[in-house]
Amino acid sequence: MLKASRKILLIFIDGLGIGEDDPRLNPLLHHPDIWPAKNHKPDFNGLSNIPIDACLGVEGLPQSATGQTALLTGINAPKLVGKHLQGFPSRKLIELLKNESIFVHLTRNGYNATFANAYRHPEDITPFSRLSVTSHAFKASGQPFRSVEQIEKREALYHDFTNRSLGDKWGDIPILSAQEAADILVGIAKKEHFTLYEHFMTDILGHKGDKSAILSLIRQLSDFIHSTLTLANEEGIKIIITSDHGNIEDSSVKTHTRNSVPFIWNFDSEIIDENQPERITDVIPLIKKILIG
Ligand SMILES: [Zn+2]
């Protein structure tokens, strides 16, 4: 059994910043128990938040490739490459992830570190496949990706957590409620020192700008986070929720934003009190400190 104090679940939500205090501009404010705004802290029992910077001293809108690399390595990737890079990571970022990703660091030091997301065809991934930052970060540790088939065995979760976006071709895969999905995720995190779960429908819908679709996603996502927090609190699992840049918190634009992003956590921690994160590059050093000391 792993000690409860040594279990961290990092929930990475793509494109979720800290927006204005007006729910007409900031759809996250329909669920103020979970999500912070500029002058509002989440009020769910035991939850804390610190706004952290995602721009990292580089001009322009922060983007996913450099932002996620910075988040998962603790290194200022946009400064290193001279700009914010969108989409898939460049060769230089992949090299950085190979050597410095949290998965590589933890597994080298004898800790379990897993990626809970299910892939549609993990068997088809080759060294030449185009992969996201999170995939490269995990692949660098030499572990296999989880598959959609493992969702039914409660060993993996799809990025949308309900399985709806898998469509009909995966006929046997059930549609999960927020509670069922939370149950699976906490079940995975219980067995590991470190678990990453990535959700990116927030960024996709933020770019599309369909307000009713955004409100419906935020309702589902908030239910899922709510259930995950409730279960994790019972199990003594430490949860950290953060993002790579803003997007969905500002309904007035379809682009990313330069807003701060949340650093939300559900546990008492002297380490966090004494080393309060200021930017997304501070997340991984904190996780290392909490797990390894
Ligand atoms: Zn992103």
User: pLDDT by residue (tens digit) across 154-172?
Assistant: 999 999 999 999 877 777 7
Instruction: Specify whether the CB–CB gap between 195 and 116 falls below 8 A.
Output: yes
**Ligand 1: centre distance to CA 259 (Å):** 13
- Would the pLDDT of 257 be above 80? yes
Q: How far apart are CA 47 and CA 37, in angstroms?
A: 14
Å from CA of 276 to ligand 1 middle: 23
- Rg of the Cα atoms in the chain: 18
Report how far ligand 1's centroid is from the alpha carbon of 66 (Å).
9
Tell me the CA–centroid distance for residue 121 and ligand 1, in Å.
22
pLDDT reported for residue 224: 98
Residue 2, pLDDT score: 57
d(CA 280, CA 263) in angstroms, rounded, equals 8
Mean pLDDT of the chain: 94
204 confidence band (pLDDT: 50, 70, 90) = very high
| DSSP class of 156 | -
Ligand 1 center to residue 95 CA distance, Å? 19
Single-letter amino acid code for the residue at 78 = P
pLDDT for 4 beyond 50:
no
10 Å Cβ neighbour count for 180?
18
- Picking from 78, 34, 108, 124, the residue whose alpha carbon sits closest to that of residue 256 is 78
Instruction: Answer yes or no: is pLDDT of 1 > 90.
Output: no
**Phi, psi (5° rounding) for residue 172?**
-85, -10
Residues in the chain, how many?
Answer: 293
Q: Tens digit of pLDDT for each residue in 267-286? A: 999 999 999 999 999 999 99
Categorize the per-residue pLDDT at 293 as very low, low, confident or very high, splitting at 50, 70 and 90: confident
> What are the structural domains, with CATH classification, of the chain?
4-292 (3.40.720.10)
Q: What is the mean pLDDT of residues 206-217?
A: 96
DSSP at 117: B
3-state secondary structure 132-144: CHHHHHHHCCCCC
42 with 59: CB under 8 angstroms? no
Q: How many angstroms separate the alpha carbon of residue 67 from the centre of ligand 1?
A: 7
Residue 111: predicted pLDDT: 95
Q: What is the mean pLDDT of residues 249-271?
A: 96
Contacts of 136 (CB under 8 A, 6+ apart): 89, 93, 94, 97, 98, 101
Mean pLDDT over 37-44 rounds to 94
Q: Give distance in angstroms: CA of 58 to centre of ligand 1.
A: 16
pLDDT at 156: 97
Residue entry with tokens 């679709």 = 213
- Maximum alpha-carbon separation in the chain: 50
More confident residue, 41 or 293: 41
Centroid of ligand 1 to alpha carbon of 172 (angstroms) = 31
- For residue 20, what pLDDT is reported? 97
Q: Nearest-5° angle of CA 38, CA 39, CA 44?
A: 100
Ligand 1 center to residue 256 CA distance, Å? 8
Tell me how far the alpha carbon of residue 224 lies from the centroid of ligand 1, in angstroms. 20
Instruction: Indicate whether 180 pLDDT > 90.
Output: yes
- C-alpha 65 to ligand 1 mean position (Å): 7
pLDDT of residue 128: 75
- Say which residue, 3 or 86, is predicted with more confidence: 86
Percent of the chain scoring above 90 in pLDDT: 89
Cα–Cα distance for residue pair 165/157, rounded to 1 Å: 12
Distance 64 CA to ligand 1 centre (A): 3
Three state DSSP letters for 32-101: CCCCCECCECCCCCCCEEEEEECCCCCCCCCCHHHHHHHHHHCCCHHHHHCCCCCCCCCHHHHHHHHHHC
pTM over 0.95: yes
- 287 has a pLDDT exceeding 60: yes
- The CA 84 to ligand 1 mean position distance, Å, reads 11
- Collapsing DSSP to helix, strand or coil, 195 comes out as strand
pLDDT at residue 199 in the model: 98
Mean pLDDT, rounded, for 38-49 = 93
Measured from the Cβ of residue 269, the count of other Cβ atoms closer than 10 Å reads: 16
Check residue 167 and give its pLDDT.
78
CA–CA–CA angle 172, 167, 89 (5° rounding): 115
- Tens digits of residue pLDDT in 189-198: 999 999 999 9
pLDDT band at 119 (very low <50, low <70, confident <90, very high): very high
Percent of the chain whose pLDDT exceeds 70: 98
